[in-house]
Structure 1
Amino acid sequence: MTVFSTQVMAIGPEAAVLKESQMLILFGEEAPAMLAEFCYMIKLDKINGHIQVGQEIIFDETPYFITAVGDVVQSNLSSLGHITIKFDGSRQAELPGTLYVENKALPDLKVSSTIQII
């Protein structure tokens, strides 16, 4: 079952800088200008169900297992399209707005890339 599905609409000029820290930031198209520079802007879409450990987030065709979910990931993604995704395999969510996924190479997102949580 698809819990969430969206598309990258724009990429901030500094978004790739955060890859060095094993993270990327998603934000809806209404991202504040200062934050937008560091974000992958996505189309805000409805969430169908709950985001949970053990699900997968798929960037284009590349899946990543979700290892931890911050307390406000669900509400922030639903209302703002805003979460941080950390690619370090953490089993405990240290930050409330962060989705943690398995530790492997970050995806190479482009405008029109798809992002799904299943």
Structure 2
Amino acid sequence: MQTVYQTTINKIGSSVSDFLGEKMFILFGDNAPAELADYCLLINVKEIDGEIGQGDVLVFNNKEYKITAVGDAVKKNLGSLGHITLNFNGFDTPELPGTLYLEDTDIQVPEVGSQIQILKK
């Protein structure tokens, strides 16, 4: 598997767990606006090396999740701002341009220092 993207979670906003019921996390680079930072997993902004596609794998919180759909703006936003939404609802058609859709599963808040990777299958 080829690593397309890799970053580290530097800080976890105080309200991140509010989205567990919605099965989603918001990623944002360390430059997140103050009014949003409490709701985000703050990450290092890194470039993306390749395309992100349906069937690829997100490694998050030491588990692998199949990517089921990719919004049109995911690559641009993740590579430039570190800002996308991870939605673990299993949708196979993207509803929002800045959202990466993943297999339907329950999720837990990761720890600071956790790695996030996107792997090409």
**What is the TM-score when the length of structure 1 is the normalising length?**
0.97
1:117 and 2:100 aligned: no
1:5 and 2:6 aligned: yes
**Matched residues, number:** 118
1:82 and 2:67 aligned: no
Aligned residue for 2:109, secondary structure, equals coil
Amino acid at match of 2:94: A
Amino acid at match of 1:74: K
Runs of at least 5 residues in structure 2 that lack an aligned partner in the other structure:
none
- 1:108 deviates by 3.2
- In structure 2, the partner of 1:41 is 42
- 1:107 deviates by 3.8
- On the 8 A contact 2:20/2:108 being kept in 1, the answer is no
- In structure 1, the partner of 2:102 is 101
Deviant stretches of 4+, over 2 Å: none
Amino acid at match of 2:104: N
Aligned pairs (5 A) from 1:14-93:
14-93=15-94
- On the 8 A contact 2:17/2:109 being kept in 1, the answer is no
- Deviations along 1:59-81, whole A, 9 cap, x unmatched? 14200000000000000001000
Q: 1 CA distance for matches of 2:50 and 2:82?
A: 16
- 1:87 deviates by 0.5
Aligned-residue sequence identity (percent) comes to 45
- On the 8 A contact 1:55/1:117 being kept in 2, the answer is yes
Runs of at least 5 residues in structure 1 that lack an aligned partner in the other structure:
none
Q: 1 CA distance for matches of 2:109 and 2:53?
A: 24
**What is the TM-score when the length of structure 2 is the normalising length?**
0.95
- On the 8 A contact 1:59/1:107 being kept in 2, the answer is no
